[in-house]
Every structure is written in structure tokens, then in C-alpha cells.
Amino acid sequence: MTSPFAAAAHTLPKAAQAILALPGVQSLEREPDGWCCHLMPGWTTDALSGGGTIVDSNLRTIRDHVKGAYVVPVTEPELPAFIASAPTLAHTLAAEYLAAPAATPTDRELEMLRGWIRAEFQRIPVMVRFEGADIPLPEMLQRWEHSGVLFISVESISHPFLTDIENALFRAVHDWHHIVVNADSTLNGEILAFEHACSTAPSEIWWMLRSEIVLQAAACIATGEFQPQKLVR
């Protein structure tokens, strides 16, 4: 039995059928303003300048643009030389963070993270105050020791998945964990805070905590500045 696709292709003009037979061509459809041709994902041609779609009323033009299609080579992100070659743990983790693609948590994972943040924030036994200015960890610790108040910065609070309020609560939880385990702002201190967080968090969100706490800190330490925020599995 002939498939519907094959039957449909058979009714196309021979020039269109020839285009569909070219390597990398995924589809060719007639539209109101001409023909629309899609290459397979990851394919392109020099004529398409890296793109994968062309719309034109002339099939010859389309053929000239899609013939010779090739798979776009995937290249690893280029890392600063001092990160790629440095042997320290901070630089190794920074390279992992910078090279990895941004990951998207599932709805369940995100809801579990939000629930954990709310629960942990409720367990903080001291007053929490939020301020707009940056508050480095040593300053936060000093102010807490003198006042008994946990001062948390909400500067640059935007987060790819959490609301501003959720991220502010997360910062408070994280800084309180630093106090609980007596962790400083070094990478080892961040790892201690991460391990403490995992002791109360469901295992499904450990990867997000590692990305948020350990990998982000390592990237900041290695490069000397806070890197664009993302989640890395």
C-alpha cells in the first residue's frame, strides 16, 4: 500500500520531487505566497547563511539554495585559556558551568524547589531584612553577629525560573546555611553550604542546588565576576 506521504509527493511537480530527494531536505510545501522548504534540524547551506528554511515562488531558486546541504558542525564553547588549563577545583567546576548548556527543570522539580525554599525560610529563627544594595557574605556575617538580624541583598535578583520573591527567600536560606555550618565565602565554604542544603532537600532538586550554589560560585571565583545565571544538570 502506498503511504499518504508518498502519494502526496507523487502529485508534486517533478522539480519539487527532485528537491525533496536532495540530502538534508525535510519538507517542501506549497503555501499562498510560494513554496516553503525546510531542511532537517542541524542542516544548512552556504546560500542559506546558516539558516534552514527558504520561501520562494520559484522552485529553481529553492533548489539552488538547498542543494549541497550539510550538517552544521557542533563546536564546544571556547573557554578562557586560564580556565581551560588551570588544575584547581574552582577552575574545573567553572569550566563545567560555562561549557554546559542551560537546562530547564521539569514542573515537578521546580515545584519541589519552591516548596523546599519556603519550608527552609520558615525555619530561619532570626529576623530577616532585605536590602537593595549588595551585601558580601563577610559583611552579612558581621552585621548578623552585631545585630542578630539576617540582612539579605536583593540586588540583581532576577532568576530564570524563580520569582524575585522566591529568589530573595532562597538567598536568605542559603546565607543562613552559611551561618549554621560556619562556612565562609570560599569554594569550600559554598560546598559545605550545598551539602547542608542537600541534607534537608529532596534528592530530585540536588542538581539545581549544585548548579545554584557550587557551580555558580566556582565560575565567579575562577573568572573574577558573576556569570550569567543558568541551571546546569
**Same-domain pairing of 50 and 127:** no
Average confidence (pLDDT) over 222-227: 90
Place of cell 551539602: 195
Domain that holds residue 158: 81-223
**Same-domain pairing of 32 and 109:** no
- Report if residue 233 sits inside a domain: no
**Same-domain pairing of 55 and 145:** no
**Same-domain pairing of 177 and 125:** yes
- Contact present, 232 and 96 (Cβ < 8 Å): yes
- Contact present, 186 and 213 (Cβ < 8 Å): no
- Report if residue 216 sits inside a domain: yes
- Report if residue 230 sits inside a domain: no
Give the total number of structural domains in the chain.
Answer: 2
pLDDT classification of 171: cutoffs 50, 70, 90: very high
* pLDDT at position 4 over 60: no
Q: What is the mean pLDDT of the chain?
A: 87
pLDDT at 24: 85
Last residue of a domain, one of 71, 96, 117: 71
**Same-domain pairing of 60 and 110:** no
* pLDDT at position 192 over 50: yes
Average confidence (pLDDT) over 122-145: 93
pLDDT at 42: 80
- Report if residue 232 sits inside a domain: no
**Same-domain pairing of 93 and 189:** yes
- Report if residue 94 sits inside a domain: yes
- Report if residue 182 sits inside a domain: yes
- Report if residue 54 sits inside a domain: yes
- Range with the poorest average pLDDT among 18-27, 51-60, 69-78, 190-199: 69-78
pLDDT at 124: 96
User: What tens digit of pLDDT does each residue of 98-128 get?
Assistant: 999 999 999 999 999 999 999 999 999 999 9
**Same-domain pairing of 19 and 133:** no
**Same-domain pairing of 65 and 85:** no
Place of cell 502506498: 2
**Same-domain pairing of 59 and 147:** no
pLDDT classification of 39: cutoffs 50, 70, 90: confident
**Same-domain pairing of 85 and 146:** yes
pLDDT at 43: 85
**Same-domain pairing of 216 and 130:** yes
pLDDT classification of 77: cutoffs 50, 70, 90: low
* pLDDT at position 6 over 50: no
**Same-domain pairing of 29 and 48:** yes
